Amino acid sequence: MRTLRLTLTDSEYEAFQRAAEAAHRPMGQLLREAVTTFQREKVERKAPLRDLPVLPGHRPLADLPSRADLYEEMFSAEVSDEQP
C-alpha cells in the first residue's frame, strides 16, 4: 500500500469526517473505498458485453436494458447493500 497526500476543501473534509463518524469507520477507509469505486467505474476498462444469441428470424420477447443500465446494476453499491 502507498501513502498519498491529498488536499481537500474544508467542506469535503467535513463531509468525509461526518460520514466516517456516522459509519463508525476511519476516514481513510472511506477515502480508499471512494478511490476504489472511482477506479472501478471510471478508470478500469470494461469488457464489452456480448449480444444475446437469438435464433434467425426471432426477436427477444422484451426490450433489453442498455449496456449502461447493466453496468450500473452490476457495479452499484446500493444493489449490493440491499441484498442479504
Q: Which residue would you say has higher pLDDT here, 18 or 56?
A: 18
Q: How confident is the model at residue 20 (pLDDT cuts 50, 70, 90)?
A: very high
Q: What is the tens place of the pLDDT at every residue in 32-81?
A: 999 888 888 777 666 666 666 667 777 777 777 888 888 888 887 654 55
Q: What is the pLDDT of residue 79?
A: 47
| 40 in Cβ contact with 51 (< 8 Å) | no
Q: Is the pTM of this model over 0.85?
A: no
Q: Most distant CA pair in the chain: distance in Å?
A: 60
- Contacts of residue 65, defined as CB under 8 A and 6 or more positions apart, other chains included, come to 73
- H helix and E strand count, the chain: 4, 0
Q: What is the pLDDT of residue 48?
A: 63
Q: What is the pLDDT of residue 10?
A: 95
- Contacts of residue 77, defined as CB under 8 A and 6 or more positions apart, other chains included, come to 37
